[in-house]
Amino acid sequence: MRILVCGGAGYIGSHTCVALAGRGHQVVIADSGVNSSSRVMQRLQRLVGAPLSMHRVDVRDRRAMAALFATYRFDAVLHFAALKAVGDSCRRPLDYFDNNIGGTIALLQVMQEAGVRRLVFSSSATVYGDPSQVPVREDAALQATNPYGRTKLVAEQLIEDLCGSDPHFRAANLRYFNPVGAHPSGLIGEDPCGEPNNLMPYICQVAVGQRDRLQVFGSDYPTVDGTGVRDYIHVVDLARAHVDALEYMVGADRGFTVNLGTGRGISVLELVHAFERASGRRIPYDVVARRPGDSAEVFADPSLAHALLGWRAEHDVDAMCRDAWHWQAQNPQGYRSPLRRATTPRVQRPRAVVARLAGA
Ligand code: UD1
């Protein structure tokens, strides 16, 4: 299939482009560049082994998007293009509404005009707010606790309404838990702008010496060791789920919503210790007050994704930490780091390297 990947130069989008190409799909990227590096393209091409089409377009720019749809006949759209920092969304909610909700509306309109009726949407476990029960199932109560969360919830709802109005429109809402890690080649990974908001990129920056110490937000939660518990999922597993969802949708007579997580909760300190083992570096930390808005424990029931798509997460927390560290050690400044000639996957036999890249 020929797939438009909106936000394909970002963290999860770029890994999904590799997975799509590995399964023989043709990828066209539309990315505004607001939260991604133009250097990701050269890395992606090296991974995929073929030129990729990349267009610097904001999904809100209906004219430019319509021109893209007129140039290519897309079979489906994957929509990653959104802002995603919770604190930032509280400071400038209108920008989040405009980008995430306005962007989704514009994209859906252009899709409808072009007669493209398959969408895979990047949603988030944030739509569950502070869940009353774990593991969290897809039929749990939905609730927005901040402007970012509201944009995901509203976008899901407006996609559902569009599906209600057009029996041929199919959408897959993928609710991500906590994506971490990087492609095992070390060529692409997470490159946050400024101070990371999320735990894993923060740990990586401490490990590489860019930050002195981690702050652990609270150690008095009713959890295994008092620190917050989350469901971390390797980004390569998450990327594969998008291709599974897309291919499933082609034969399905309706859309669907699934959780994407491992189903296993890991505490902040468990993740810190796993990272120390994987990297051989010590992660100094201080326990500080709880972060407002945080839940004690959030992890998925991922059984619906397995039942529908045959998908399940394959990488454990050690693999997540190993690959996150490999990316960070190879690229201490993220994409601003020079592309090393010697950067290859840590798989010795060339045939295995090719197989792994193609399947990742
Ligand atoms: C956060 C967002 C959530 C968003 C998700 C992915 C909040 C309240 N929630 O979720 O809406 O969907 O990121 O972008 O911001 N932690 C530390 N020290 C740190 C950073 C985090 O101890 O420097 C702890 C947190 O308290 C939490 C765990 O690590 O217990 C994971 O935090 P984080 O990576 O921010 O993810 P979420 O809290 O799940």
At 120-170, the pLDDT tens digits run: 999 999 999 999 999 999 999 999 999 999 999 999 999 999 999 999 999
Q: Is the pLDDT of residue 273 over 60?
A: yes
Q: Is the pLDDT of residue 237 over 60?
A: yes
Stretch 261-281: mean pLDDT: 98
The confidence score (pLDDT) of residue 60 equals 98
Confidence of residue 78 (pLDDT cuts 50, 70, 90): very high
Average pLDDT over residues 218-245: 98
What's the rounded mean pLDDT across residues 97-111?
A: 98
Kindly give the distance from the C-alpha atom of residue 268 to the centroid of ligand 1, in angstroms, as a whole number: 10
d(CA 1, CA 33): 25
Whether pLDDT at 345 is above 90? no
* Confidence grade of residue 226 (pLDDT, cut at 50, 70, 90): very high
In which band, very low, low, confident or very high, does the pLDDT at 259 lie, cut at 50, 70 and 90? very high
Give the pLDDT score at 59.
98
Could you tell which of 84, 177, 199 is best to mutate to test the pocket of ligand 1, judged by most ligand atoms within 8 Å of the CB? 199
- CA 308 to centroid of ligand 1, rounded, Å: 29
Residue-wise pLDDT tens digits, 176-219: 999 999 999 999 999 998 899 999 999 999 999 999 999 999 99
Q: Give the Cα separation of 207 and 201 in Å (integer).
A: 10
335 among known catalytic residues: no
Query: Which stretches does DSSP call E strand in the chain?
Result: 2-6, 26-31, 53-56, 76-79, 118-124, 170-176, 178-180, 214-217, 229-230, 232-234, 256-260, 266-267, 285-288
Nearest CA to ligand 1 atom 22: 216
Residue 58 and residue 314: Cα distance in Å, rounded?
A: 34
Beta-bridge partner residues of 136: 300
Ligand 1 atom closest to Cα of residue 221 = 30
CATH number of the domain encompassing residue 43: 3.40.50.720
Q: What is the mean pLDDT of the chain?
A: 93
Residue 202 burial (CB count, 10 A): 20
Of 227, 268, 269, the one to substitute when testing ligand 1's pocket (max ligand atoms within 8 A of C-beta) is 268
The reply to whether the predicted model has a pTM over 0.85 is yes
Task: Report the pLDDT value the prediction gives residue 341, as an integer from 0 to 100.
Answer: 59
Shortest-distance atom of ligand 1 to CA 290 = 26
Structural domain span for residue 61: 2-358
Residues having CB closer than 6 A to ligand 1 are 84, 86, 124, 126, 149, 178, 197-199, 202, 214-217, 228, 230, 268, 291, 293-294
Q: Is the pLDDT of residue 340 over 80?
A: no
Options 11, 128, 148, 176, the catalytic residue: 148
168 CA distance to ligand 1 middle (Å):
37
The per-residue DSSP string of 37-71 comes to -TTHHHHHHHHHSS--EEEE--TT-HHHHHHHHHH
Cα 233 to ligand 1 centre (Å):
14
The structural domain count of the chain equals: 1
What distance in angstroms lies between residue 199's CA and the mean position of ligand 1's atoms? 6
Residue 356: its pLDDT value, please? 37
Say what the pLDDT of residue 146 is: 96
Q: What percent of the chain has pLDDT over 90?
A: 90
Q: Which pLDDT value is given to residue 360?
A: 34
274-290: pLDDT as tens digits = 999 999 999 999 999 99
